[in-house]
Amino acid sequence: MKYLDEFSDPELAGKLIAQIKAVTTRRWSIMEVCGGQTHSIIRHGIDQLLPDEIEMIHGPGCPVCVTPLEIIDKAMEIASRPDVIFCSFGDMLRVPGSDKDLFRIKSEGGDVRVVYSPLDALTIAQENPDRQVVFFGIGFETTAPANAMTVYQACRLEIRNFSLLVSHVLVPPAIAAIMESPECRVQAFLAAGHVCSVMGTEEYPELCDRYSIPIVVTGFEPLDILEGIRRTVLQLESGRHELENAYRRAVREEGNGPAKAMLEDVFERTDRAWRGIGVIPGSGWRLSPKYREYDAEHRFAVTDIHTAESEVCRSGEVLQGLIKPHECEAFGTLCTPRNPLGATMVSSEGACAAYYLYRRLEVSHA
Ligand code: SF4
């Protein structure tokens, strides 16, 4: 299949790995930001094919994983209401809140529905004018344009029984927060191609300069990731710290103009809490004053719900690259995909779930 098979070619992968080995002279720690890249790295064993000197650190780029417990609890509260139809993508249904998940709410009689687009939720709102319909809008810059479009359409069509529970987060402030952590070991980043296909790359050169780090934008197939690593190592070895775009088939410097215009109209920047990490200034979006009436947190008065994170789960350390998932004492015992203690075990893009799926036998014998 074009753009899949041709970017998984083992012969070309072998050549890229040989080139990386040829230029590597010392230890380097590289963080892949995106959970999709983490999944691909672990699934294909890319980290095990690299020279020993290169460590891949798995970053906080899984949208489900970084959604704070507090917003999950707010979702539970709203979804429990008899007048509400609560719509979400399927991956949020098993994410544990403080004492239940959305599946439990559904089994207890809540009207929780899986949709494949936020616009589906808007259709449900049109079909059910006597009910309140809420869409759970989480994720990075990739999912935000569709959510923004839905709110814009709700406003344009005067659909007042629709609202959005928003928890959008942004990659560049997260890179800055990781670099400013006193425990940071990251020396370079692979940036997420799909995020940059929306937002472009204009925010990244300043980060390269401020923290003296190479940032290479790349995709998700094995050859994309290997090419990103190759370019990153070349920069590190030669002392350069620049933005490079290794995903030109999808990413332009200026990004997607109409999507960015929609985002600018519907959202405004805000401080956001990241699960296990805490509040990162200016790292998220909320609805702008023009669309604030569509904000589910205000409509259902759940702004006062505050929740502490689990003391057992070490996903915050996993998400900052301070430990690998199997170094958490609960990994594979108390915490499994069937019984997840933290969000990084729920989502297929979560580092804990990826290690459980592809590495648990290896790490349990290590
Ligand atoms: S293995 Fe489970 S408990 Fe441990 S960090 Fe991962 S999600 Fe949290």
C-beta 351 within 6 A of ligand 1: no
Q: Are 170 and 283 in contact (CB under 8 A)?
A: yes
CA pair distance 148, 276, nearest whole angstrom = 26
Task: Evaluate whether 242 touches 142 at the Cβ level (below 8 Å).
Answer: no
Contact 44, 261 (CB under 8 A): no
Provide the pLDDT confidence category of residue 3 given band limits of 50, 70 and 90: low
- How much is the pLDDT for 39? 92
Report CA torsion sign: 305, 306, 309, 310. Answer: negative
> Residue 351 in contact with residue 66, Cβ under 8 Å?
no
Angle at which helices 35-43 and 222-238 pack, to 10 degrees? 100
SS3 call for 21: helix
Q: In this structure, what token pair is assigned to residue 277?
A: 């990490």
Distance 323 CA to ligand 1 centre (A): 11
Q: Could you please report the per-residue DSSP string of 49-116?
A: HS-TTEEEEEEEE-HHHHS-HHHHHHHHHHHTSTTEEEEE-GGGTT---SS--HHHHHHTT-EEEE-S
pLDDT confidence band for 363 (50 / 70 / 90): low
Q: 220-272: per-residue pLDDT in tens?
A: 999 999 999 999 999 999 999 999 999 999 999 999 999 999 999 999 999 99
Does any ligand 1 atom lie closer than 6 A to the CB of residue 313? yes
pLDDT the model gives residue 123: 98
pLDDT at 98: 84
185 CA to middle of ligand 1, Å?
21
In short, whether 144's Cβ falls inside 6 Å of ligand 1 is no
Specify the higher pLDDT residue, 346 or 89.
89
> Which of 64, 72, 315 is the best mutation target for the ligand 1 pocket, counting ligand atoms within 8 Å of the beta carbon and taking the most?
315
Encode pLDDT of 25-52 as tens digits.
Answer: 999 999 999 989 999 999 999 999 999 9
pTM of the model: 0.90
328 within ligand 1 shell (Cβ under 6 A): yes
Say yes or no to pLDDT of 64 above 60. Answer: yes
Mean pLDDT of 98-112: 93
Relative to beta strand 243-245, strand 215-218 is: parallel
- 6: tokens are 């041709």
- Tell me how far the alpha carbon of residue 243 lies from the centroid of ligand 1, in angstroms: 33
The answer, yes or no, to whether any atom of ligand 1 lies below 6 A from the CB of 315, is yes
Give the DSSP H/E element, type plus range, for residue 33. Answer: strand 28-34
pLDDT of residue 60: 86
Ligand 1: centre distance to CA 327 (Å):
9
Q: What is the pLDDT of residue 107?
A: 95
State which of 65, 322, 345 you would mutate to test the pocket of ligand 1, scoring each by most atoms of that ligand within 8 A of its C-beta.
345
Top mutation candidate among 42, 335, 336, 360 for ligand 1, by most atoms within 8 Å of CB: 335
User: Tens digits of per-residue pLDDT, 272-330?
Assistant: 988 878 899 999 999 999 999 999 999 999 877 777 777 788 988 887 778 999 999 99
Confidence band (pLDDT; 50, 70, 90) for 366?
low
Nearest CA to ligand 1 atom 3: 313
* Amino acid at site 74: K
Q: Is 84 in the pocket of ligand 1 (CB under 6 A)?
A: no
**Mean pLDDT, to the nearest integer, of 207-216?**
98
- The CA-CA-CA angle for residues 316, 317, 321, to 5°, reads 120
Q: Tell me the pLDDT tens digit for each residue of 177-205.
A: 999 988 899 999 999 999 999 999 999 99
Residue 168, beta-bridge partner list? 139, 285
* Shortest-distance atom of ligand 1 to CA 343: 7
pLDDT at 365 > cutoff 60: no
- Residue 132: what are its φ and ψ, rounded to 5°? -90, 130
Q: What is the pLDDT of residue 50?
A: 97
Cβ of residue 344 lying under 6 Å from some atom of ligand 1: yes
Query: Which atom in ligand 1 lies closest to the alpha carbon of residue 356?
Result: 1
Report the pLDDT value the prediction gives residue 364, as an integer from 0 to 100: 62
Give the distance (Å) from ligand 1 centre to CA of residue 68: 14
Q: Is the CB of 331 under 6 A from ligand 1?
A: yes
How high is the pLDDT of residue 1? 60
Return the best residue to mutate from 101, 341, 347 for the ligand 1 pocket (most ligand atoms within 8 A of CB).
Answer: 341
Residue 312 makes CB contacts below 8 A (sequence gap 6+) with: 330, 334, 335, 341
Average model confidence (pLDDT) across the chain? 92
Length reported for the chain: 366
**Closest residue to atom 7 of ligand 1, CA basis:** 342
Whole-number Å distance between alpha carbons of 132 and 106: 16
Q: Is the CB of 122 under 6 A from ligand 1?
A: no
